[in-house]
Amino acid sequence: MNSRTKKITTIGMMCAMAMVMNLLLHFPIIPAVSFLNYDPKDIVIVIASFIYGPFSAFVMSAICAVLDVMLRGGTILDVLMNMIATCMFSCVAGAIYKKEHTKKGALIGLGTGVILTTISMLLWNYIITPIYFGISREAVAAMLIPGILPFNLIKYGINAGASLFLYKPVIGALRSSHLVMTEEKPHEKSNEMVVLGAFIVISLVMLILGYQGII
């Protein structure tokens, strides 16, 4: 199997993995915007972006957005919003990591991805949500700060943390299957990055439980 075939095979497998995770784990985070649901597919997509670069993440984002609508139902607006959010997070993180191939680059990429995605989704929800739900723009504006802002910060913060935590087992499995060669693998993250990822995820899950009134 040549390197191109391995890359296509790996991206296909990671798309499948992302969609399985998306179907198994899908729930609202913030009661004020219960129409917005957490999904974990961006974890796999951003790991692929670290391995193969931002264009691979763009391709995976498009495939997963279309599959999501096919499996759950929806419109072209669902595909658009899904792609914008996923690309903003994973492509930005992957582009920064590609330029600075270090642990610091990974952290800066993920952090920048979280911030830019959160900002962009404030704008895009303000534009698209009134069209999608047929409600006034003023009603959507009232949701931005108390609902849409924390939703995206929490969602993409969890996905960033989980990416740090899951990178090593994912890349290890791909290398064991000989799908990722030595020259293709990104800089390995130390155990400190795994611990940091776990801390971020646990902290934000606790915050979700607080929003839900469970704790």
Q: Which of 185, 184, 159 is nearest to 90 (CA)?
A: 159
The pLDDT value recorded for residue 189 is 47
CATH number given to 1-210: 1.10.1760.20
CA–CA separation, 109 and 88 (whole Å): 11
186 — pLDDT class (breaks 50, 70, 90): very low
The pLDDT value recorded for residue 183 is 47
Regarding predicted confidence, which is higher, 176 or 77?
77
What percentage of the chain reaches a pLDDT higher than 90?
Answer: 73
In this structure, which amino acid lies at residue 212? Answer: Q
Contact by Cβ (8 Å): 53, 98: yes
Is the pLDDT score of 188 beyond 60? Answer: no
For 198-211, the pLDDT digits (tens) are 999 999 999 999 88
The pLDDT value recorded for residue 185 is 47
The pLDDT value recorded for residue 184 is 45
Query: Which tokens belong to 124?
Result: 């895009």
CA–CA separation, 178 and 170 (whole Å): 13
Query: Which tokens belong to 184?
Result: 């293709």
177 — pLDDT class (breaks 50, 70, 90): confident
Only one residue has tokens 């198994």, namely 24
Is the pLDDT score of 135 beyond 50? Answer: yes
CA–CA separation, 92 and 87 (whole Å): 7
Only one residue has tokens 């913030």, namely 30
Write down the domain spans for the chain: 1-210
Mean pLDDT of 191-204: 91
Mean pLDDT of 73-86: 94
Q: What does each C-alpha distance from 61 to 43, 137, 215 come to in angstroms?
A: 11, 28, 34
The pLDDT value recorded for residue 1 is 65
In this structure, which amino acid lies at residue 202? Answer: I
The pLDDT value recorded for residue 215 is 82
The pLDDT value recorded for residue 181 is 65
For 141-162, the pLDDT digits (tens) are 999 999 999 999 999 999 999 9
Query: Which tokens belong to 205?
Result: 């899950």
Residue 16 CB-density burial (10 A; 0-12 exposed, 13-18 middle, 19+ buried): middle
Q: What's the whole-number average pLDDT of the chain?
A: 90
Q: Which of 185, 158, 190, 191 is nearest to 172 (CA)?
A: 185
CA–CA separation, 155 and 159 (whole Å): 6
